[in-house]
Amino acid sequence: MNKEIGGYFELETIKGESYFKDCIALNSGRSSLRYIIRANNIKTLHTPYYTCWSVTDTIKEEGVEIRFYNIDENFLPTKEFKEDDFILYTNYFGVNGKNIKELSQKYKNLIIDNAQSFFFPLEIGLSSFNSVRKFFGVPDGSYLKCNKILNKDFEQDISYKRSLFLLKRHDLGANAAYNDFQLSEATFELNKNIKLMSNLTCNLLKGIDYDFIKQRRLQNFKIYNEILKSSNELKIKLDCDDIPMVYPYLIKKEGLREKLIQNKIYIAKYWAPLEDNLFESNFQKFLLPLPLDQRYNEEDIKRVIGHILNQ
């Protein structure tokens, strides 16, 4: 009876479907991780050194003890865990499906951080979650598959205030909207509550051509790998369920990242600096996550490769 009728038009309601229909739709990977910790009453969590600071901050904010572990050149843990240990494993760059399947057979309490692998099946592992913002132009979002359900009514997120960077980039480009993007990201750092995915994001996700995106990402990955695999210190073989976020290119060459950025090829760095005595510091210093997402075609990918080969 309170439905608004008339007046100016809003964004169109999209009639498609979400990619994950039987999962909990929350507003961020942080919310999903908090949910898992609370649902399982986790007190200690084995966590990789090589991970996002937002992950470790969230774990600490939940009062959980972190026990760090190392990974090797194949992104596998270098230690064995006890049967009842809760283990957080990162699906690095969306190319570690084989590792996840192996580890899930060994450890019953394996929690999968699929923030870098939106399309990977969430039913593998004790619990699993992804991050929508790393794959699509939306202001929030994470899908969660949890072994236990919390009987609480969570507040729904409201995301219009942090959507400016999406609209601004559409009109003016990435550089013009970068500060707005940073402000948008900062709002997730301030919020310690679990929230549901916003109505805006739920609507936008129904209009995405997921099949096209999967095929484009795989095609672009193949182009990179055919030309760069001989110089890539990582030997990557995709699992049948892997849809990569980026092409992880590990090469110890100074100045290459800066050259790419100067040519408007924006290369992220994952994550905060690590101690030099850790093997993973090589990833943090030298690994180049080369863009391969649905916005780019073969010509774009070969432009990136050209700058790399001409360094």
What is the rounded CA–CA span in Å between residue 204 and residue 140? 11
Could you tell me if 49 and 148 lie in one domain? yes
Say whether both 40 and 82 belong to one domain. Answer: yes
**CA-based angle 241:247:251, to the nearest 5?**
135
* Residue ranges of the chain with per-residue pLDDT less than 50: none
Say what the pLDDT of residue 186 is. Answer: 87
Q: Which of 150, 172, 205 is the last residue of a domain?
A: 205
Give me the amino acid identity at 202. Answer: C
CATH of residue 293: 3.90.1150.10
Which residues lie across from 48 on neighbouring strands? 69
Contact 238, 217 (CB under 8 A): no
Q: How many helices (H) and strands (E) does the chain have?
A: 10, 11
Are residues 66 and 199 both part of a single domain?
yes
Task: Based on the fold, state whether residues 198 and 229 are members of the same structural domain.
Answer: no
Q: Are residues 95 and 28 in the same domain?
A: yes
The CATH number of residue 90's host domain is 3.40.640.10
In angstroms, the CA 243 to CA 101 distance is 15
Residue 186 CB partners (closer than 8 Å, separation 6+): none
What pLDDT is attached to residue 114? 98
The angle formed by the CA atoms of residues 127, 131 and 136, to the nearest 5 degrees, is 145
| Buried-exposed string 36-49: b where 16+ CB fall within 10 A, e elsewhere | bbebbebeebbbbb
Q: In this structure, are 73 and 199 located in the same domain?
A: yes
Which pLDDT value is given to residue 112?
A: 98
Domain count, the chain: 2
Examine residue 170 and state whether it is found in any structural domain, yes or no: no
Q: Is residue 120 part of a domain?
A: yes
**Within-domain flag for 184:** no
Are residues 155 and 61 located together in one domain of the fold?
Answer: yes
Range of the domain at 305: 210-309
| Residue 270 sits in the same domain as residue 200 | no
Q: What is the pLDDT of residue 311?
A: 67
Same domain, 37 and 88: yes
What pLDDT, on a 0 to 100 scale, did the predictor assign at position 11? 87
- 65 and 156 assigned to the same domain: yes
Same domain, 152 and 28: yes
E-assigned strand segments in the chain = 24-26, 44-48, 65-69, 87-90, 110-114, 127-130, 142-145, 155-156, 195-196, 246-250, 287-291
Instruction: State whether 57 and 128 are in the same domain.
Output: yes
Q: Where does residue 264 fall: left (phi above 0), alpha (psi -120 to 50 degrees), or beta otherwise? A: left
Q: How far is CA 270 from the centre of its chain?
A: 11
Give me the phi and psi of 142, to 5 degrees please: -160, 135
